[in-house]
Amino acid sequence: MMNFKKINLFVATLAMAGAMAPVVAAHADNTTDPTKAQGTTRIEFQKASGSQGLTLDKAPSFEFNNHDITANMSMDYDANQSTPIQVTDLTGSSDGYHVTPQANNLTLDGNTSVVLPVSQLSMTVADGAKNTSGGYVHGTTGTQIFGAAATVATGDANTNGTNASGNTNSHIKLSGNQVKAGTYNGTIDYTVATGLN
């Protein structure tokens, strides 16, 4: 008998809750302002067919000027300030990129068998300006690039499109004064690759 009353009480409670539900729904606020409407905007981008995606637009060269050969000549020389590194990233991704140069031997004009005795050649890259997305090219200071590639600039996840570093500079150190008179020329091989490295 006690169980029967409990069941009836439960059913009666549910019935009362069900009867109240339509009353609550009838008082819901569904009004809208008839003088206003809302539209949408949409645009889609994809990597263009045949696009290289990532390109190294500009890479600096360095001029270390003229110097005298003497018994106590300096072994350290700074280059003139040079142009920024510029990269265009049309991949449409957030992967970023890094730039790695490698400086090679400097050889004497007219006699490439004569090699300048270089012990170090480093590169400094200033940070670039922030773009409209807050991304920028991050530089490094005093990175050794002689004989082995090293990262000197990194484009972060928001450097889509064309971005540049700040100005660049270089420092060269000789291993001794065993230098023949003349002009020495070398190359720096730059590579840009996807990823923050």
197 residues of the chain, pLDDT tens digit each: 333 333 333 434 444 445 455 544 545 556 788 888 776 656 676 666 555 789 999 999 999 999 999 988 999 999 988 899 999 999 999 999 999 999 999 999 999 999 999 999 999 999 999 999 999 999 999 999 999 999 999 999 999 999 999 999 999 999 999 999 999 999 999 999 999 87
Sequential DSSP letters for 83-127: PPPEEEE-S-SS--EEEEEEE---EETTEEEEE--EEEEEEEEPP
pTM over 0.85: no
**Cα separation, 157 vs 196, whole angstroms:** 8
Query: So what's the pLDDT on residue 14?
Result: 41
Per the listing, tokens 């045949």 go with: 50
List, in order, residues 6 or more apart from 93 with CB less than 8 Å away.
160, 194
**Cα separation, 112 vs 180, whole angstroms:** 12
Query: So what's the pLDDT on residue 195?
Result: 92
Query: So what's the pLDDT on residue 196?
Result: 84
Query: So what's the pLDDT on residue 11?
Result: 39
CB-CB neighbours of 72 under 10 Å: 5
CATH class of the region 54-194: mainly beta
Report helix, strand or coil for 13: helix
